Structure formats: structure tokens, C-alpha cells
Amino acid sequence: MSMIEFHDVEKYYGDFHALHDINLTIDSGETVVLIGPSGSGKSTLIRTINGLETIQQGQLIVNGQDLANKKTDMNRIRKNVGMVFQHFNLYANKSILENIMLAPRLVLHRPEDENKKIAMDLLDQVGLADQAPKLPEQLSGGQQQRIAIARSLAMRPKALLFDEPTSALDPEMIDDVLNVMKDIARDSDMTMLVVTHEMGFAREVANRVVFMADGQILEDDSKEKFFDGQPSNERARQFLSKIITH
């Protein structure tokens, strides 16, 4: 079953044509890595999926709902599709535990005891149970990003979108975050779309690699074809050789 379907999607920022003729289907449970040069439209594409950006043409179906349909309930989409940002976006004046418990309490009306148990289990899963009472600023960037992932998971979404989750982190913190993401990809039936230049992550857990440039999808391959058989698109090949040698 498909979780996300783009059909002939076009997106403009004013006169600027940011997404051209996007056709992409992501099945439930798949992990797809989206790569491409800076400014190619990766963030724009990922942000259309939970309605942070609107599209002007084509059809975008998420969890069976057509986002162009005015009757579509965006809150329901966002309950099912979580997002992890480059800069964590934690609530600065709330404790780590409260950051995780807030949305399930307000949106899902999850009972307090159950909410706390789920939050503590998630903190344990990301290796940060001892940080529960602290404020975000007392944690490192890598720890904050693991909290942001736990916060998304607390909503029990069907899909998680990651927009360059490790690119604001010091190098020594990147692996801890990637390991949490790899565990989710391997051990759950979550659908994951990940914008990242971390090709080790793609090699280990992605099902597919999608390459974008100039607002278009130029390559959409299985991981095996992308890394072993080489992408057929020349720009994708060049991009791959650059990021892997650097």
C-alpha cells in the first residue's frame, strides 16, 4: 500500500518554479533517501507532504487523503506524518519529558499515566532517560535531535519525514542520531523519507535513493542499483562521486 503519492506535481514560489513534474510513490514501511545539490528542492518537496508548503498543480495523496481537497483535515495528516527538522525545534522553556508529552496530551488526549510511560520508554529507546527533567539548552545538539525524534515517535505516526537531521550537528554527534534512525528503519514498520547526505545511512537501511536537481527528480533507484550499478543519470553519478569522496 502506498503512503505518499505525488502525481505530476508542480510548485511555485511566486514566479520561481521550485518543483517540476514530480512523480513519486513511497510505500508503507519503505525508507527512502532523498539527495541532491543545495537548492534542488528537497526541503520544498518534503514540506509539501505535511502541508507546510502548498502545491499549485498535480495531485498529492498522503495516507489515502488528497491534500488538494479542501475537506482534507491537515491535523489528521500531521498526526500520522511526523517531521524532524535540521534545527530540532524543541520547546525551549519546557523540560525534555514535557516536550515529548505535550502533543499526545493536547492532540490525542492520551491519559497522563500512559503518556508518561510512553515518553519514558521513548527516552530510553533514544538513550536519554536520565535527561527527562532537563531543559533542551542543557543538552548537546545530538541529544536534542534524539529528543526531537522521540517527540515525533510519541504521536505514533505512520510516517516520519527527516529534513537534513544531522547537518547542524558536530561530527561526533552524528552517529548517535543516525543509529536511532537506523533502529527505527530496521525495527518498525514506519515509512521514512530522509533528506540527507549521509550515504552510510542510505547504504545500510534505505530501500531506495531518489536524486533531485533543479526541482526535478532525475533518478529513483533501488539502493543496490544506486550504489552498485551506478545511477543512469549523469548528474546523479557526478553528485554521488562528489559526496562519497568528500
Ligand X SMILES: Nc1ncnc2c1ncn2[C@@H]1O[C@H](COP(=O)(O)OP(=O)(O)OP(=O)(O)O)[C@@H](O)[C@H]1O
**Footprint of ligand X on this chain (CB under 6 A)?**
13, 16, 18, 36, 38-44
**Minimum distance of ligand X from residue 231's CB (angstroms):** 17
User: Judged by CB, which is closer to ligand X: 13, or 91?
Assistant: 13
92, 138 Cβ separation under 8 angstroms? no
Beta-strand pair 2-13/57-62 = antiparallel
- The whole-angstrom separation of Cα 130 and Cα 228 is 42
* Residue ranges in the chain assigned as alpha helix (H): 42-49, 74-80, 96-107, 112-125, 141-153, 171-187, 199-205, 223-224, 234-245
Q: Give min distance, CB of 87 to ligand X, in A.
A: 12
Shortest spacing between CB 235 and ligand X, in angstroms: 14
Which is nearer to ligand X, 119 or 194 (by Cβ)? 194
**Quick one: 44 or 131, whose CB is closer to ligand X?**
44
Q: Give the nearest distance from C-beta 47 to ligand X in angstroms.
A: 8
C-beta closer to ligand X: residue 42 or 151? 42
Give the SS3 label for residue 17. strand
